[in-house]
Amino acid sequence: MSSYLQSFHNKQSVKQKYLTRLEEHYKQDEIIHGVYWEGGKGCAVGCTVHSNSHQCYEKELGIPKWLALLEDSIFEGLQNGKSKEFPLQFLKAIPLGVTQQQFQTVYHKFCIFILEDIVKTEKNEKIIKIVSDVLILHKNKLKNKPAWSAARSAAWSAAESAAWSAAWSAAESAARSAARSAARSAAFSKMADKLLLLLQESNK
């Protein structure tokens, strides 16, 4: 994502265009699971940009690709009723003019939310140590490449022997992978609520 991009290119008209589009898909019951964009129906991403390209979020909406991927993952994990509402809630939650740096803060906070939950429930001490190390990196918003590389290597090593989902989340340190590791719809619902809250507060 280019550093100068802002959400909706800082234009209410852009935000309203996509809200109106999603509202129409919602009314026509065209927001569905399992399909990106086909025959006028699709998932959260498909109904937003009329494409299967998450990259379109950056060009069309000024929203980073990783956030589109996260929206996609959470949408597919939600039950039908809530999933249908989520794309509209997602766009409405994002203020105008959110910068790349502000979105990056949302990324770190969301990863912290996911990883802290893993620490609370994980029994394997090795995994807890790995996830805790990654938590420190997120909490300090560190850009130290060797530190991230070491954390990923440790997580991959652990993944070969135990706790695949937690280790994968730590290894990737990516919000969408953490989302995919959740096993139940309730967990996705919890993640959706947290993400919406973080987005609403992203430019404060």
Report the pLDDT averaged over residues 154-166.
52
Q: What whole-number distance in Å separates Cα of residue 55 and Cα of residue 60?
A: 9
Q: How confident is the model at residue 10 (pLDDT cuts 50, 70, 90)?
A: very high
Least confident of 36-40, 52-56, 182-186, 188-192: 182-186
Q: Spell 149-161 as b/e; 16+ CB within 10 A means b.
A: eebbebbeebbee
Q: Please provide residue 119's backbone torsions phi and psi, each rounded to the nearest 5 degrees.
A: -60, -35
Q: What whole-number distance in Å separates Cα of residue 80 and Cα of residue 34?
A: 11
SS3 label, residue 173: coil
pLDDT tens column, 81-99? 899 999 999 999 999 999 9
How far from chain centre, in Å, is Cα 151?
A: 21
Report the pLDDT averaged over residues 15-20.
98
Q: What whole-number distance in Å separates Cα of residue 46 and Cα of residue 171?
A: 28
Q: Are 57 and 65 in contact (CB under 8 A)?
A: yes
pTM of the predicted structure, to 2 decimals: 0.80
How far from chain centre, in Å, is Cα 38?
A: 23
CA-based torsion, 100, 84, 117, 132: positive or negative: negative
Q: Looking at the predicted structure, is the pLDDT value of residue 161 above 80?
A: no
Q: Looking at the predicted structure, is the pLDDT value of residue 201 above 70?
A: yes
Q: Looking at the predicted structure, is the pLDDT value of residue 130 above 50?
A: yes
Q: Looking at the predicted structure, is the pLDDT value of residue 204 above 60?
A: yes
Q: What is the pLDDT of residue 118?
A: 80
Averaged pLDDT of the chain: 84
